[in-house]
Every structure is written in structure tokens, then in C-alpha cells.
Copies of this chain bind each other. A is one copy, B any other.
Amino acid sequence: MMRSFFIFLFTFVLFGQYTRCGAQEIITPNERQLKWQEAELGAIFHYDLHVFDGKKYNQARNRLVPVPDIQIFNPSQLDVEQWVLSAKAMGAKFALITATHETGFALFPSQYNPYNVSQLNFKEGKADLVKDFVDACRKHGIKPGVYLGIRWNSFFGVHDFVVDGTGEFQLGRQQYYNKMVEGMVQEICTNYGELFEIWFDGGASSPAKGAPDVLPIVKKLQPNCLFYHNDELAEARWGGSESGTVGYPNWSTFTFHYTGSGESAPAAIAANHYQLLKQGDREGKYFMPAMADAPLRGAQGRHEWFWEPGDEHTIYPLQDLLNMYYKSVGRNATLILGITPDTSGLVPKGDFDRLKAFGDAVNKRFSTPLARTHGTEKIIHITLPKIQHVNQLVIQEDIKYGHRVLSFVVEAKIGSGWKVIDQGTAIGNKYMKLLAEPVHAKSFRLRLVETKATPFIKDFSIYDVN
């Protein structure tokens, strides 16, 4: 009976649909979403022409005005493997590279977009940073992904997906641009092996709105690649801020099957500072896990995805990064940190060291629980050999079966009674809590107050961390 239930469930998981268990629908991830949620931590590397211009990055202007001389792109010691090692040092399981960003300049030799590395004196036009990147990722056990910015293109003159211009002239160039983008997507999906995620920044709009038709290309050529995102499909969603955090609760289910590109988002999404993106929708019919993203250089009132001179002091302190981690991975989201190589072609030492410190701290905090267990019961117990100091909890649902826990409490036996030491609603892939007040106890229990069908708690663990 149990076996046939699993087969039944598995069938639906494979096709990314939902299953009914009793009266309630359970929305489950597809294989791509499951792997992406379980990866938990990723990195994204931003690199573009204006890194080399010696000026402070001005996104609004860089979207509008092409970099005057592309030959400034000339890193003296480019070592993309070193980038990947910085991601590995922080514990990232996957990493992305901005194959194109808002200038429109491609870091790979495209036959469709002539504005690319083959025009550079650098490496005599033979550079291919996307290839270097995916190769280094695979060498070091990181899953590679690619970010394509197609919403803006200062060189070709694209402004929020629309080729700037008038009349037939605009129309013809729009059609051309769409083919250019589709060609680049095909190149990215064909020439670099299996990709973990393809990220269209700001989404890729949709062909119905006159934008390139990218979804069928990705679906055909990279069936195992998470598609993020256009107006037809979002296999993940932006978490509503670039603070590296999401709200709580944060459900992996969502109200719509897409979140919109550019200005096209449904009004319900933009309302209340993107609250819906930050929290998801417990009753949502679409599985769409949240991404928390932030640039590593986001402290001191700065927020820089790209390297700039004199910004070393803006690297987030370790404590900030750990706070982010608790409020993203610990809230059922996937955290993607932005790392930015400098003009030498390396991740600066200060950034690298901070990432490693972050990775080491996470390892230290989560690798040695006092105890752990798992189960499918409504109440799951941990009993320590003796009374101990406990200040951190981790709970995981096996998210491939969807959100089954709707509310829970964690209790410790103090004296003869159970005292609530934490409570919440969503668990999802991972729930973490650093307790405001440490507990001294021997017996702990996770009590699932409200569930859908059989809950699958794959981990319940308690820690004493410094």
C-alpha cells in the first residue's frame, strides 16, 4: 500500500503537478526545483565592460549609454577558476555567470550577438569566459548556470525589452533583436554542457508581448535546467528584495504561474513592497520556490553587484552574512550571493576571505548537532543523554512531497512539563532558528500542529553554537 502510494506520488512529482491527499491539494516541485531548493546556496558572478572604466557603476546610465571603448576590458590576470574557488569556499553548490548584462556585451563568442569578447584585443579575441566558468565549476563540483540580461542592451538600444525607436525601423530591429537573443540562448544551451539554472534578469517577458521566445529553446535543449523566468513560466521566484533575505513564513507555493517581467508583474505582486514574493502563498497552486539574493558588497549604504575601486569597506561583515543565511536558507529560500571580480580578473582577496569565513562559519554552526532525528509522525522526539545548552534548531521537510506542515511548535521538557521554545508555520526545505534565549533541557519535541496528509520530516536537529 505504501509502495503504491509512493509510485503514485512520484508520478506527479515528475510532471511537476500536484496530488490530492484527502481533501487538500499538495503542490510539489519538479526535479529542477527540488534540486535547486536542496542546493540552498549559490553564487552569481557579475562581470561586464564597465568594471574597467574606473568609474563608480551607474546602473541607470550603463543601461542607456554604451561603454565608449570595449578594449578597456583587459583583465591582467584573469583566472575564472579562482572565481569558482571563492564560491566553493563559501559553500555554494551552484554558481552563475553574467554571460550578458545590461551593456549587452557577451562574455562568450556569440555568432548572433557581435558585441562580444571576440572583438577584444584581450586574448586576441579568443576569450570565452562562459566556457572557462563552466569548466572550472565542473572541476570543483559546483553546478554551473548562466545569467542572461536581455531586458536592457545599451549597445543595441534595448530599454525594458523594447528596442528603442520608431515605426517600421523599430519593428525590424525588434525582430532582429529577438532572433539575436534566441540565438544566444541556443548557443548557451548548446555549447556549455548541462546547466543547473538559466537566469533571465528581470525575466524574459514573453513572445506574446513582442519579446524573444526563449522558453521552448531552454525546454528543448536543457530539460534539466531550472528556468528563471519569463511571463510564461517561473520555476523559481525572486524573493522580493535584494537583501539576501525573505519573509517568514516563506512558502514555496505561489498564486500565479509567473511573476512578470519588468513592469508587467501582476499588481498583486508589486503591492506592499513585494510582500507576496517575500512570503509566497500557502494556498498557491504553483510550486515556485523563493530566491534571496544580495551582492557581497552591500554594506555601508552600498549595494554593488559590480566591482568598483574603493568599495572594499562595503563587503558585508560576517555577522550580516550569517543573519542573511538564517533569513534565507533558514526560511526555505535559496540564497544567491553576488561576487564580483575586479579589473585584474580575480575575486579580490578581501572578498574571497570573507566568503571563506562565511562558509567556515556555516560549517561550524551546522555540521555538529547535539542530536538529530527524522520521522513521519505528528510528534517527533529528541532525547539527549543529559541536560544540555541548546540555542539553535533546524527542521527540514522532504520538500519533494511539498509543504505538508502548516504549523508547528518545538517544545522542551522543563521540569515535568513541555514548554514551547519556538513555533512557526512554514518549514519547507529548511527552517533554522537561533533561539533568542538558550534552553537547558534533555528532552525536545517537534509537534506538528497542522499538517496536510502524512508529514515527511527529514531532519529535526538541535545545536549548541557559539
Shortest CB-to-CB span from A148 to chain B, Å, is 18
> A55-93: contact bitstring with B at CB < 8 Å (1 yes, 0 no)?
000000100111011110000000000000000000000
A65 touches B172 (CB 8 A): yes
User: A157–B118 Cα gap in the complex (Å)?
Assistant: 22
Main secondary structure of the interface of A (DSSP, over half): mixed
List residues 13-72 of chain A with CB under 8 A from any CB of chain B: 61, 64-66, 68-71
B68 touches A179 (CB 8 A): yes
B169 touches A157 (CB 8 A): yes
* Interface assignment of A407: CB less than 8 Å from any CB of chain B: no
Chain B residues whose C-beta falls within 8 Å of the C-beta of A166 in the assembled complex: 164
A163 touches B172 (CB 8 A): no
Of B64, B111, B115, B116, the residue contacting A121 (CB under 8 A) is B111
A172 touches B64 (CB 8 A): yes
Chain B residues whose C-beta falls within 8 Å of the C-beta of A437 in the assembled complex: none
* Interface assignment of A168: CB less than 8 Å from any CB of chain B: yes
Chain A interface residue count, Cβ-Cβ cutoff 8 angstroms = 33
* Interface assignment of A368: CB less than 8 Å from any CB of chain B: no
Tell me the nearest residue of chain B to A121, going by C-beta. B111
User: Which of A156, A163, A172 has most B Cβ within 10 Å?
Assistant: A172
A169 touches B159 (CB 8 A): yes
* Interface assignment of A154: CB less than 8 Å from any CB of chain B: yes
A66 touches B173 (CB 8 A): yes
List residues 312-352 of chain A with CB under 8 A from any CB of chain B: none
Chain B residues whose C-beta falls within 8 Å of the C-beta of A163 in the assembled complex: 157
- List 13 extra interface pairs beyond A64-B173, A165-B165, CB under 8 A: A64-B168, A65-B173, A65-B175, A66-B172, A69-B179, A70-B111, A114-B116, A114-B119, A125-B125, A155-B176, A157-B165, A157-B173, A164-B169
